[in-house]
């Protein structure tokens, strides 16, 4: 059975790059726009602010890496 690190090596580098760019590209406008100029944001609980800034990019990155893993694993198995 392979370890987690070995499975991470299956994911192609472009999937990592696309995931990181999507994470930054989709969350940065949220941080610049609504979080700075919306007057209701300071009343949000801390968990909501942290969730928007940290959890959303992690979900986007995870989805991109999952797609890259499925593609690379299928290619490795000649499917």
What is the reported pLDDT for 36? Answer: 75
Reported as a pLDDT band with limits 50, 70 and 90, residue 1 is low
Picking from 44, 46, 52, the residue whose alpha carbon sits closest to that of residue 28 is 52
What is the reported pLDDT for 65? Answer: 93
In tens, the pLDDT along 36-70 reads: 777 887 888 988 888 888 888 899 999 999 999 99
The domain locations on the chain are 46-74
What is the reported pLDDT for 70? Answer: 94
């Amino acid at each position: 059975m392979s370890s987690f690190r070995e499975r991470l090596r299956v994911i192609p580098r472009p999937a990592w790059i696309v995931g990181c760019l999507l994470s930054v590209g989709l969350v940065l406008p949220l941080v610049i726009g609504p979080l700075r100029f919306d007057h209701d944001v300071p009343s949000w609980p801390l968990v909501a602010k942290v969730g928007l800034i940290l959890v959303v990019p992690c979900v986007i990155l995870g989805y991109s890496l999952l797609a890259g893993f499925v593609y690379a694993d299928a290619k490795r198995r000649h499917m």
